[in-house]
Amino acid sequence: MSDEAPVPGELAIGDHLAGYRLDGVIARGGMAVVYRAFDERLGRSVALKVLAAPLARDEAFRQRFIRESRVAASVDHPNIVPIFEAGEAGGVLFIAMRLVQGRDVLAILQQEGRLPAGRACHIVTQVAAALDAAHAQGLVHRDVKPANMLRDAAAGGEDYSDHIYLSDFGLSKRWSSSSQLTSVGEFLGTMDYVSPEQIEGHPVDGRADQYALACSTFEMLTGAPPFKQDETMAIMWAQVSATPPALTSRRPDLPAAVDPVMAKALAKQPDERYRTCLEFASALRRACGPGRGSPEPPPVPPHERTEMIGAVAADPLPPAGTPPSPVRPTSVPPPPVPPTSVPSASVPPPAEGPPPVPSASVPPLPVPPTSVPPPAEGPPPVPPHERTEMIGAVAADSVPPAGTAPPAGTAPPAGTAPPAGTASPPPAETPPPDAPRPAPSDSPPQPTGAP
C-alpha cells in the first residue's frame, strides 16, 4: 500500500465514492489510482480503481469504458479478477474488483530477479488461459504486463503453487476498436509490451495480447523486456521495426528451442504469431524441456534404488491369469539339514537329487501288526489235522467192498448201473456250498431204510 500524498484533484483517504469508503492507496499510475476500499453496503473490502479525471472528461472514452467494463464483468474465469461494479459517480470513473492479497509479478521480479523456467511457464499458462477466455467474448485486454498479473497470497508456498489473476480488464476494448492516442496524448497500454499494430493504430485482436504476453514472458525469464530503452521513441521504433533478441543470448542455460518459440510470438505481423495464447504457452513448455513446466518428483537415493531393484528381481509377481512357471535348477547346493530328535519313517532315496538325509540316532517306533480280515467268499479254511482225519474217515468208511450191494435206500457208486428191475432212486440233494459240513464221528454209520 502506497503512503504517497494524494495528487491535487485526487480523492483523499476517508472519502466516499459510490458507496465505497477509501481506506488507502494500493498503487498509482499515469491513468488511474487503485485504492483499498470498503463496500459499506455488503461489508467487504474491495480494490477500487479510479481513473484520472482527464479521461472521464473524454466523452467517447467514458462511454466505451462503461460499456466494455460491463462486458468484462460477465467473463467468468478462475484467472481473471472478478469485477463487481463499474460506472461513474460524481464525474469520476471507477471499477470495483476483488481485493487480491499478494504481490504482482513485477514486484516478484524486482525482489527475486528472473524466474526459473518452470515457474515462468506456470504463470504464462494461467495468463494465457485468462486471455483466451476474454478473446472468446470478443474482448482484447490491450495492457498485458507483469504489473497486471497478481499472485494470490492465499495459494501458499512458492514456485509451482502460484495462482495468478489477470487484472485491469476494465480498459479492454472490442476487436473492432482502433488503438489511436487518447485526447490526453497517452496510449491505452504500456510501451514496453505494446504490439506494433497498436502503435501504428491498426485494428487489434487477441494476437496483440499474445505479443504483450511474449514480452512479459521475456522479462520473467531474463529480468527485462526485449526492448528496454531509456527513450519512449526508441522503444516505439524497436517494437515496430527491430528484431527481438534471442532469449538464450540473455539466458544461456535455457534450451535453444525456446528461441524460435519466442520469435514467433514476437513476430511483427499478427498473422505470423500463434493462433491463441494457450498455443504459445504450450509451445513454450515443450521448448523448455521435460520437468521445467511442471514439478518433478524427488529423485530416489542410489541405495534405495538398488534395494528396490533387488526386491523386484527376487519376488516378481506374474500377471493375472498366468500359470506359475516351473522352478529353474540352480547351481547353488541346498543347505544341509541338521539332525532332528523327532523319529521319522525311513524313505528310500530318490533316483536323482541331493544325497539322503542321514537317519536319526533314535530307533524308529515299532509298527503294530495289522489284522487282515478273511476273504468274503467261501467257508472258513479247515485246519490241517482235521482235514487229514476227514480224508481218512471218508477213505475207510464211505467206500463199500467190491461186489457188495449197496444198502437199501443208498445210491450206487458213481458210474454203476442200477440192477435190472430196480427203480432208480431219486438223486440225493446236494447241499449248498455255504452249508456247514458234518463233523466226523468215531461210530460206524448206521444203516438206513429196510434190510
CA separation for the pair 160, 122 (Å, rounded): 7
Give pLDDT tens digits for 15-44. Answer: 999 999 999 999 887 778 999 999 999 999
Angle, helices 277-288 vs 206-222, to 10°: value is 30
Lowest-confidence pick of 266-270, 304-308, 438-442: 304-308
> Quick count: other Cβ atoms within 10 Å of Cβ 162?
19
Whether 162 and 119 have beta carbons less than 8 Å apart is answered as yes
Rounded distance between C-alpha atoms, residue 156 and residue 424, angstroms: 130
Q: State whether residue 173 is helix, strand or coil.
A: strand
Residue 290: what pLDDT?
63
Q: Can you spell out the DSSP letters for 202-271?
A: ----HHHHHHHHHHHHHHHHHSS-SS--SSHHHHHHHHHHSPPPPHHHH-TTS-TTHHHHHHHHT-SSGG
Predicted local distance difference test score (pLDDT) of residue 64: 82
Assigned C-alpha cell, 266: 514476437
**In a 3-state reduction of DSSP, which class is residue 65?**
helix
**180-191: pLDDT as tens digits:** 333 333 455 689
Higher-pLDDT residue of 405 and 198 is 198
Identify residue 95 by its one-letter amino acid code.
I
What pTM value is reported for the model?
Answer: 0.60
Q: What is the pLDDT of residues 125-163, one digit of tens each?
A: 999 999 999 999 889 999 999 999 999 987 655 545 789
pLDDT, residue 242, reads: 95
Q: Are 90 and 97 in contact (CB under 8 A)?
A: no
Name 139's bridge partners.
174
pLDDT (0 to 100) of residue 154: 78
- Supply the pLDDT for residue 433: 52
CA dihedral 65, 66, 72, 73 (to 10 degrees): 150
Q: How confident is the model at residue 65 (pLDDT cuts 50, 70, 90)?
A: confident
For every residue of 128-170, which 3-state class applies, written as one string?
HHHHHHHHHCCEECCCCCHHHEEECHHHCCCHHHCCEEECCHH
- Catalytic positions: 143
pLDDT > 70 fraction of the chain, expressed in percent and rounded: 56
pLDDT tens by residue, 331-390? 555 555 555 544 444 445 555 555 555 544 555 565 555 555 555 555 566 555 555 444
d(CA 282, CA 434): 104
Q: Which residues pair with 174 in a beta bridge?
A: 139
Mean pLDDT of 47-74: 85
Q: Which domains does the chain show, CATH number per domain?
A: 16-98 (3.30.200.20), 105-288 (1.10.510.10)
Residue 50: what are its φ and ψ, rounded to 5°?
-115, 120
Give residue for cell 518459440.
261
Q: Between the CA atoms of 141, 142, 143 and 148, what dihedral angle is there, to the nearest 10 degrees? A: 10
pLDDT tens sequence across 96-120: 999 998 899 999 999 999 999 999 9
If pLDDT is split at 50, 70 and 90, which confidence band does 8 have? very low
C-alpha closest to that of 263 among 207, 229, 214, 205: 214
Pairing status of strand 139-140 against strand 44-51: unpaired
Q: Residue type for 102, please?
A: G
Output phi, psi for 44, to 5 deg.
-140, 155
- Average pLDDT score, the chain: 74
List the grid coordinates of 7: 495528487
**What is the structure's pLDDT at 356?**
53
Q: Find, among 220, 341, 190, the residue nearest to 281 by Cα.
A: 220
- Whether the CB-CB separation of 105 and 220 falls below 8 Å is answered with yes
Residue in 231, 224, 49, 204 with CA at minimum distance from that of residue 138: 204
